[in-house]
């Protein structure tokens, strides 16, 4: 089929209607010592120490910034253990035995509305930095760096599109915590002294639309509005979202703040709400466990650090365990696959997707052009693939693979079942040389 | 114990496959093939069987030769060598694409072609049109057209006129003059001996399959609905053809008031292999450019060549040549220095220039130069 691919078939509608399961308290919680942006960490506690929930127990150190590690439950520190991180690497995790008391750290306190109204942007940035807020949509980009921009901001866009197939975590979050999201948006608008905010959702999500039409009425005059955008993939990519929500087309590599726009994920909004209202880091998040390899797909609200193995029995276990499975943390189009189910939910894990492995036979390319038609950044994946096969560096550079956002549509749409995205990734390495 | 394997993102694929697209083309060729069987039962049968056999066998042998086991000093049984050469290396796509070439070749061969012309034509078509370039997905030229033209160059004088009198309505058609032959001789007034309906239903002497416009249009609609061909090529090819032929018709009308330009256009649209070429040969994805603007340009270039050959060359029919020439241009359009899926003003300029220059040439050649008399 020679056509642009925009829709990816999935079971989102069914799973998105399932309420999130709460109070799943695991016996042990694991907190990552390192992540993609901070390769090493320093611990402030010794084995056997008692920790409180939300207590700072260590500091991750990256090349550009430091990030405090917060305990996500109260209990005893038992040492380090190796598990798989979301990026697919074996990483040291801090093991904490849960005492199920959930004693909060003294640093957690509620701020009164007057206190919050008096906060300046710099103070908010400091609170967010101390709470280790990162982009919870999956990017894990530190939020305080976004807050440090000096450019005037006219519009705040809240990304609730969740365009990746299968994931419904943000969908449930938007339905279950509308007031937290609205308050979070209000705080951010106060910080940037900005009058407009738009909550972007897919126009086919009628349930979210109805909820927010009601909720926005209670926030009259705040400048927050609902913005319905397209239903296609990759609508959630910030350039596409900004284009459809405001009509502004960003140049490749241009920061949204250049155009007076700043965008956040909805779950980041809830995080900011908690940080500013209660001085509390992210200790819980929504995750979806779905895919054709699991018996009963479900949404969960779990503590950060929950091992995924504990959640699998709640979903009824694996379907067809004799078949080979692919275990994906994140969306099925861009998420990384991990080699074992021994992995941990970190702050940025939005979903766990378990698919039966399908072995596709690669046929020769017949140049149908579906990848070219589907590419959202107007590249020519097939030409890049041929250039990589020929190891022609000059041609690779001319084809500009660094624009690629790795959305995976070229592989998805390939009629010959070629892993085109892998070739484009290689081309990116070549082009950087 | 459940095994978990690692793979790179994305983890989903869509359903559409190349096999589906190829099967669609075969299905779309079906009605024309059946019509051809009804009108010329024997000729179609042996042409089809010979070309199917030769093209599929060549493809099979080629895959075997290409993946032959190199000499490692050890003895291997034939079975081992066979499995090494073919296992996982030959798929149904190889046979589907060879079969499409064979069916197209059958339908574009003239009804009275001798048996050796069919054999040599299909052999040359598959080998020099496809396999020497690297087989499936790597060919520059359309194998069926290469084979048909080679047979025509070598054995064209041996072709006999074969007229199924029960189907044709014109009694004196036995002279064997095809409508395009008459058009090419500059005798538009003679051609009206064939009613337009006869052209539409294929009641004219010519090739085995190209003449049945009604079934070709059914196939075209099917392929466009299933999106197994790119509509851009069809639209730009037929659109440019219509524009240029209207210019030509009006220029002839300016010289000779007896010629109705729209009738002239209709005869040109319905004669020869124009619709068949636009549906099945020009749109072959392997030999057409990759990105959308290049595809528009490609169709336009092919149309300009077709019109010029039909009107000004010493040949009656230009679709086959124009497809081969456009195939050559395809890789130039795809060159990385300027290929991009974006529509830029340069590309629009190129499209506009093609139309304006070729329209001007058509007008001047007919109206001033007197290259063509109605």
Please report the DSSP string for A68-121 in residue order: EEE-SS-EEEEEEEEEE-TTS-EEEEEEEEE-S--PBPTT--PPPHHHHHT--H
Closest partner residue to A357 (CB to CB) among B5, B10, B18 is B5
Chain B hits for A11, CB-CB cut-off 8 Å, are none
Q: What is the pLDDT of residue B19?
A: 92
Q: How far is A248 from chain B, CA to nearest CA, in Å?
A: 18
Of the candidate ranges A255-269, B90-104, B162-176, the one whose mean pLDDT is the lowest: B162-176
Chain segment A153-175, per-residue pLDDT in tens = 899 999 988 888 888 999 999 99
> Nearest CA to A349 among A295, A308, A383?
A308
> Nearest CA to A380 among B334, B13, B231, B234?
B334
Domain coordinates in residue numbering, chain B: 41-69+80-158, 178-368
The answer to whether residues B176 and B161 touch, using CB atoms and an 8 Å cutoff, is yes
As a 3-state breakdown, chain B gives helix, strand, coil percent values, each rounded to 5, of: 65, 0, 30
> What is the number of alpha carbons within 13 Å of residue B240 lying toward its C-beta?
30
Chain A hits for B89, CB-CB cut-off 8 Å, are none
The answer to whether residues B218 and B280 touch, using CB atoms and an 8 Å cutoff, is no
Of the candidate ranges A17-26, A193-202, B132-141, the one whose mean pLDDT is the lowest: A17-26
β-sheet with A28-32: strand ranges across: A28-32, A90-98, A75-84, A50-51
Does A372 contact B at CB distance below 8 Å?
yes
Of the candidate ranges A306-315, A350-359, B157-166, B219-228, the one whose mean pLDDT is the lowest: B157-166
Residue in A with minimal Cα distance to B225: A1
Does B9 contact A at CB distance below 8 Å?
yes
Rounded to whole angstroms, the Cα distance separating B70 from B164 reads 54
Rounded to whole angstroms, the Cα distance separating B106 from B208 reads 7
Q: Tell me the angle at which helices A420-432 and A381-389 cross, rounded to the nearest 10 degrees.
A: 70
Q: How far is B255 from chain A, CA to nearest CA, in Å?
A: 45
Does A147 contact B at CB distance below 8 Å?
no
Does B341 contact A at CB distance below 8 Å?
yes
Average pLDDT of A5-9? 83
Interface of B with A in 79-118 (CB under 8 A): 88, 91, 93, 97
Is the CB of A398 less than 8 angstroms away from the CB of B295? no
For residue A234, cis peptide bond before it (omega within 30 degrees of 0) = yes
Chain segment B221-249, per-residue pLDDT in tens = 999 999 999 999 999 999 999 999 999 98
Residue B190: pLDDT over 70:
no
Question: Which secondary-structure segment (H or E) carries A66?
Answer: strand A66-70
Q: What percent of chain A has pLDDT over 70?
A: 100
Chain A hits for B21, CB-CB cut-off 8 Å, are 1-2, 366, 368, 415
pTM value is 0.90
Rounded to whole angstroms, the Cα distance separating A245 from A247 reads 6
Q: What is the pLDDT of residue A147?
A: 86
Rounded to whole angstroms, the Cα distance separating A335 from A328 reads 6
Question: Which secondary-structure segment (H or E) carries A326?
Answer: strand A325-329
CB atoms within 10 A of CB B323: 27
Residue A42: pLDDT over 90:
no
CB atoms within 10 A of CB A410: 29
Q: Which residues pair with A355 in a beta bridge?
A: A326
Is the CB of A325 less than 8 angstroms away from the CB of B2? yes
Question: Which secondary-structure segment (H or E) carries A22?
Answer: strand A21-24
Is the CB of A339 less than 8 angstroms away from the CB of B5? yes
Confidence of residue B177 (pLDDT cuts 50, 70, 90): low
**Beta strand segments in A160-297, E:** 196-202, 224-229, 261-265, 284-290
Rounded to whole angstroms, the Cα distance separating A39 from A89 reads 12
The answer to whether residues A380 and A418 touch, using CB atoms and an 8 Å cutoff, is no
Closest partner residue to B291 (CB to CB) among A8, A369, A387 is A369
Chain A hits for B6, CB-CB cut-off 8 Å, are 88, 326, 337-339
Distances (CA, A) of B57 to A330, B39, B63, B128: 48, 28, 10, 15
Residue recorded with tokens 């509390």? A280
| Residue A406: Cβ-neighbour burial (10 angstroms; 0-12, 13-18, 19+) | middle
The first and second tokens of residue B153, run together, are 């160059």
Closest partner residue to B291 (CB to CB) among A3, A355, A372 is A372
Is the CB of A411 less than 8 angstroms away from the CB of B10? yes
Residue by residue, DSSP assigns A140-191 as --BHHHHHT--S---EEEEE----STT--HHHHHHHH-HHHHHHHHHHHHHH
> Nearest CA to A198 among A177, A179, A176, A222?
A222
At B211 the three-state DSSP class reads coil
Interface of A with B in 299-358 (CB under 8 A): 318, 321-328, 332-341, 353, 355, 357-358
Confidence of residue B175 (pLDDT cuts 50, 70, 90): low
Average pLDDT of A215-235? 88
Indicate the pairing of strand A224-229 with strand A325-329: unpaired
Is the CB of B21 less than 8 angstroms away from the CB of A415? yes
| Residues 6 or more apart whose Cβ sits within 8 Å of residue B202 | B35, B39, B211, B212, B213, B214
> Nearest CA to A136 among A96, A104, A92, A169?
A169
For residue B213, cis peptide bond before it (omega within 30 degrees of 0) = no
The first and second tokens of residue A198, run together, are 């738009």
- The H helix count followed by the E strand count for chain A is 15, 17
Rounded to whole angstroms, the Cα distance separating A431 from B7 reads 24
The first and second tokens of residue A211, run together, are 């909820």
Domain coordinates in residue numbering, chain A: 12-106+282-356, 113-278, 370-432
The first and second tokens of residue A305, run together, are 């650090």
Is the CB of A380 less than 8 angstroms away from the CB of B9? no
Is the CB of A326 less than 8 angstroms away from the CB of B7? yes
Average pLDDT of A57-72? 86
Confidence of residue B277 (pLDDT cuts 50, 70, 90): very high
> Nearest CA to B148 among B104, B109, B101?
B109
Residue by residue, DSSP assigns A350-368 as -EEEEEE---PPPPPP---
Q: How far is A126 from chain B, CA to nearest CA, in Å?
A: 36
Higher pLDDT, A88 or B238: B238
Chain segment B282-303, per-residue pLDDT in tens = 999 999 999 999 999 999 999 9
Higher pLDDT, B195 or A110: A110
Counted across chains A and B, CB pairs separated by less than 8 A come out at 159
The answer to whether residues A135 and A168 touch, using CB atoms and an 8 Å cutoff, is no
Q: Which contacts of B209-213 are long-range, i.e. CB under 8 A and separated by 24 or more positions?
A: B209/B32, B209/B33, B209/B35, B209/B36, B209/B44, B209/B106, B209/B107, B209/B108, B209/B276, B210/B107, B210/B108, B210/B272, B210/B273, B210/B276, B212/B31, B212/B32, B212/B35, B212/B36, B213/B270, B213/B275
Is the CB of A366 less than 8 angstroms away from the CB of B137? yes
Average pLDDT over chain B, rounded to an integer: 88
The first and second tokens of residue B159, run together, are 């072709």
Does B7 contact A at CB distance below 8 Å?
yes
Chain segment A277-291, per-residue pLDDT in tens = 999 998 889 999 998
Closest partner residue to A366 (CB to CB) among B2, B10, B18 is B18
The answer to whether residues A301 and A22 touch, using CB atoms and an 8 Å cutoff, is yes
Residue in B with minimal Cα distance to A354: B4
Chain segment A162-218, per-residue pLDDT in tens = 888 888 999 999 999 999 999 999 999 998 888 889 999 998 888 899 999 999 998
Nearest-5° Cα angle at B182, B181 to B183: 90
Q: What is the pLDDT of residue B192?
A: 64
Is the CB of B8 less than 8 angstroms away from the CB of A395? no
Higher pLDDT, A196 or B160: A196
Q: What is the pLDDT of residue B205?
A: 79
Interface confidence, given as ipTM, is 0.89
Rounded to whole angstroms, the Cα distance separating A9 from A291 reads 12
Is the CB of A383 less than 8 angstroms away from the CB of B336? yes
Candidates B1, B3, B4: best to mutate against A (most CBs of A within 10 A) is B4
Rounded to whole angstroms, the Cα distance separating A225 from B67 reads 63
Q: What is the pLDDT of residue B168?
A: 74
Chain B hits for A337, CB-CB cut-off 8 Å, are 5-9, 11
Average pLDDT of A62-75? 86
The answer to whether residues B315 and B321 touch, using CB atoms and an 8 Å cutoff, is yes
The answer to whether residues A43 and A96 touch, using CB atoms and an 8 Å cutoff, is no
Rounded to whole angstroms, the Cα distance separating A414 from A424 reads 14
> Nearest CA to B205 among B241, B181, B239?
B181
Is the CB of A421 less than 8 angstroms away from the CB of B8? yes
**Beta strand segments in B146-268, E:** none
Q: What is the pLDDT of residue B188?
A: 62
Does B75 contact A at CB distance below 8 Å?
no
Confidence of residue A415 (pLDDT cuts 50, 70, 90): very high
Chain A hits for B229, CB-CB cut-off 8 Å, are 2
Rounded to whole angstroms, the Cα distance separating A426 from A399 reads 13
Average pLDDT of A217-241? 88
| Residues 6 or more apart whose Cβ sits within 8 Å of residue B171 | none
Is the CB of B340 less than 8 angstroms away from the CB of A380? yes
Rounded to whole angstroms, the Cα distance separating B117 from B148 reads 9
Q: What is the pLDDT of residue B170?
A: 62
Chain segment A97-133, per-residue pLDDT in tens = 988 888 888 888 898 989 888 888 888 899 988 888 8
The first and second tokens of residue B205, run together, are 């002497």
Q: What is the pLDDT of residue A87?
A: 80
The fold adopted by the segment(s) A113-278 is Rossmann fold (3.40.50)
Is the CB of B13 less than 8 angstroms away from the CB of A411? yes
Chain segment A377-401, per-residue pLDDT in tens = 999 999 999 999 999 989 999 898 9
> Nearest CA to A412 among A203, A160, A164, A159?
A164
Interface of A with B in 380-409 (CB under 8 A): 380, 382-383, 387, 395, 398-399, 406, 408-409
Q: What is the pLDDT of residue B304?
A: 95
Rounded to whole angstroms, the Cα distance separating B227 from B210 reads 22
The answer to whether residues B164 and B208 touch, using CB atoms and an 8 Å cutoff, is no
Indicate the pairing of strand A50-51 with strand A56-61: unpaired
Does B332 contact A at CB distance below 8 Å?
no
Residue B164: pLDDT over 80:
no
Chain B hits for A421, CB-CB cut-off 8 Å, are 8-10
The answer to whether residues B201 and B216 touch, using CB atoms and an 8 Å cutoff, is no
Confidence of residue B189 (pLDDT cuts 50, 70, 90): low
The first and second tokens of residue B249, run together, are 């018709």
Q: What is the pLDDT of residue B172?
A: 55
Is the CB of B136 less than 8 angstroms away from the CB of A364? yes
Judged by phi (left if over 0) then psi (alpha if -120 to 50, else beta), residue A327 lies in: beta
Chain A hits for B339, CB-CB cut-off 8 Å, are 380, 383
Average pLDDT of B326-351? 91
Average pLDDT over chain A, rounded to an integer: 88
Residue A323: pLDDT over 60:
yes
Closest partner residue to A419 (CB to CB) among B8, B227, B334 is B8
Is the CB of A336 less than 8 angstroms away from the CB of B20? no
Higher pLDDT, A229 or A38: A229
Q: How far is B1 from chain A, CA to nearest CA, in Å?
A: 7
């Amino acid at each position: 089929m020679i056509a642009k691919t925009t829709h990816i078939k999935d079971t989102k509608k069914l799973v998105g209607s399932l309420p999130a399961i709460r109070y799943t308290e695991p016996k042990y919680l694991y907190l990552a010592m390192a992540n993609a942006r901070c390769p090493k960490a320093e611990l402030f506690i010794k084995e056997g120490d008692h920790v409180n929930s939300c207590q700072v127990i260590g500091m991750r150190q990256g090349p550009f910034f430091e990030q405090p590690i917060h305990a996500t439950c109260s209990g005893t520190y038992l040492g380090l253990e190796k598990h798989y991180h979301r990026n697919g690497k074996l990483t040291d995790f801090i093991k904490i035995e849960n005492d199920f008391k959930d004693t909060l750290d003294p640093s957690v306190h509620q701020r009164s509305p007057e206190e919050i109204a008096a906060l300046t942007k710099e103070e908010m940035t400091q609170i967010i930095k101390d709470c280790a807020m990162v982009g919870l949509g999956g990017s894990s980009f530190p939020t305080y760096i976004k807050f440090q921009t000096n450019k005037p901001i006219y519009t705040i866009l809240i990304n609730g599109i969740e365009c990746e197939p299968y994931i419904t975590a943000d969908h449930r979050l938007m339905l279950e915590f509308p007031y937290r999201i609205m308050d979070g948006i209000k705080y951010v608008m106060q910080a940037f002294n900005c009058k407009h905010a738009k909550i972007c959702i897919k126009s086919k999500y009628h349930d979210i639309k109805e909820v927010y039409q009601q909720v926005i009425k209670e926030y009259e005059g705040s400048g927050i509005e609902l913005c319905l955008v397209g239903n296609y993939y990759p609508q959630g990519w910030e350039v596409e979202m900004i284009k459809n929500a405001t009509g502004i087309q960003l140049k490749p590599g241009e920061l949204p703040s250049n155009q007076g726009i700043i965008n956040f994920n909805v779950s980041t909004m809830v995080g900011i709400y908690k940080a500013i209202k209660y001085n509390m880091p992210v200790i819980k998040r929504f995750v979806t466990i779905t895919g054709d390899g699991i018996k009963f797909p479900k949404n969960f609200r779990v503590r950060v650090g929950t091992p995924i193995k504990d959640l699998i029995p709640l979903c009824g276990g694996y379907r067809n365990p004799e078949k080979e499975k692919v275990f994906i943390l994140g969306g099925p189009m861009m998420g990384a696959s991990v080699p074992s189910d021994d992995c941990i939910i970190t702050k940025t894990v939005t979903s766990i997707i378990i698919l039966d492995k399908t072995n596709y036979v690669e046929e020769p390319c017949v140049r149908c052009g579906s990848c070219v038609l589907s590419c959202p950044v107007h590249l020519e994946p097939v030409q890049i693939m041929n250039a990589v096969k020929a190891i022609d560096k000059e041609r690779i550079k001319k084809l500009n693979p660094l624009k690629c956002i790795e959305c995976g549509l070229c592989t998805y749409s390939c009629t010959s079942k070629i892993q085109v995205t892998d070739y484009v990734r290689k081309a990116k390495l070549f082009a950087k040389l | 114990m459940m095994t978990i394997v690692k793979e790179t993102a994305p983890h989903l694929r869509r359903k559409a496959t190349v096999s589906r697209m190829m099967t669609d083309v075969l299905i779309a060729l079906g009605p024309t093939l059946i019509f051809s069987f009804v009108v010329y039962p024997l000729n179609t049968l042996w042409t089809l069987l010979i070309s199917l056999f030769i093209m599929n066998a060549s493809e099979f042998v080629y895959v075997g030769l290409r993946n032959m086991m190199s000499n490692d000093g050890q003895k291997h049984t034939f079975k081992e060598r066979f499995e090494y050469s073919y296992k996982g290396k030959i798929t149904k796509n190889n046979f589907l694409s060879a079969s499409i070439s064979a069916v197209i070749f059958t339908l574009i061969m003239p009804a009275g072609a001798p048996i050796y012309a069919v054999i040599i034509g299909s052999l040359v078509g598959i080998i020099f049109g496809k396999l020497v370039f690297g087989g499936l997905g790597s060919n520059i030229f359309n194998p069926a057209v290469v084979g048909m033209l080679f047979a025509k160059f070598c054995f064209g004088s041996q072709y006999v006129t074969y007229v199924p009198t029960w189907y044709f309505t014109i009694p004196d058609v036995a002279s064997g003059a095809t409508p395009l032959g008459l058009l090419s001789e500059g005798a538009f007034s003679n051609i009206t001996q064939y009613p337009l309906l006869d052209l539409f239903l294929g009641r004219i002497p010519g090739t085995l399959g190209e003449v049945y416009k009604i079934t070709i249009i059914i196939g075209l609609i099917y392929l466009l609905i299933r999106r197994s061909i790119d509509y851009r090529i069809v639209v730009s090819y037929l659109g440019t053809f219509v524009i240029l032929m209207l210019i030509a018709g009006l220029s002839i009308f300016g010289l000779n008031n007896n010629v109705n330009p729209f009738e002239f256009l209709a005869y040109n649209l319905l004669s020869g292999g124009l619709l068949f070429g636009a549906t099945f040969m020009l749109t072959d994805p392997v030999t057409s450019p990759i990105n959308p603007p290049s595809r528009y340009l490609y169709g336009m270039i092919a149309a300009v060549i077709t019109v010029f050959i039909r009107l000004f060359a010493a040949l009656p029919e230009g679709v086959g040549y124009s497809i081969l020439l456009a195939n050559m241009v395809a890789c130039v359009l795809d060159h990385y220095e300027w290929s991009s899926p974006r529509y830029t003003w340069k590309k629009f300029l190129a499209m506009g220039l093609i139309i304006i220059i070729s329209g001007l040439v058509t007008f001047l050649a007919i109206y001033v130069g007197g290259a063509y008399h109605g």
